[in-house]
Amino acid sequence: MDEAKYNGMVMDKIETNGIKRNDIIVLEDGADVKLVQVQEIKKSKPGKHGAAKFNFSGTNLVTKKYYEFTEGSKTQLQICTFVKSPCLLVDVDERKDEFICFNEITSENFSITLGKIPAEPLAKIQKIRDTTPDVSIKFVMVETPYFIEITDIITNSYS
């Protein structure tokens, strides 16, 4: 298993019939990786010559598009949960177009290119910085090789 491919994710294998709504299934097709958050599961009855099948539909979290696929009832699938890191925004490097952040779990500074951050949380953070400059901004971040998600943006005033 290529560790860099799954950075920021905790992987597990589970039989198809154990998959539940909102589970995130990892599908690999060569170099292409899909992270499908299951929204609906339909089970077909076993036929004369085969086992039952499961039809999964959901959202590919990498592309944000609808995706569906079918698997046999005894197939082992990879599922993942995301590692959520509480972070503090330390600075904005305008020259490099990056946020400089502090990971509160590892106690390490790191940078995020602004182009990788989804538009909605980026706009919210920038608005907070523009309207109240003397405030600390904290958020929860999920960072995988495929996307970055920022949630739970909160502020603490220095005064």
Q: Where are the domains of the chain?
A: 3-82, 85-157
State the CB neighbour count (10 A cutoff) for residue 8: 18
Look over the chain and give the mean of its residue pLDDT values, rounded to a whole number: 90
Q: What is the DSSP string of 62-95?
A: TTTEEEEEEEETT-EEEEEEEPPEEEEEEEEETT
Question: Options 1.10.600, 3.40.50, 3.30.70, 2.40.50; which CATH number does 85-157 get?
Answer: 2.40.50
Tokens in use for 5? 């491919």
Residue at 81: amino acid letter:
T
pLDDT at 3: 67
Question: Options 1.10.1380.10, 2.30.30.30, 3.30.1370.60, 3.40.50.1220; which CATH number does 3-82 get?
Answer: 2.30.30.30
Could you tell me the pTM of the whole model? 0.80
Task: Extract the residue ranges of the chain whose pLDDT is less than 50.
Answer: 159
pLDDT at 54: 93
pLDDT at 158: 55
pLDDT at 44: 86
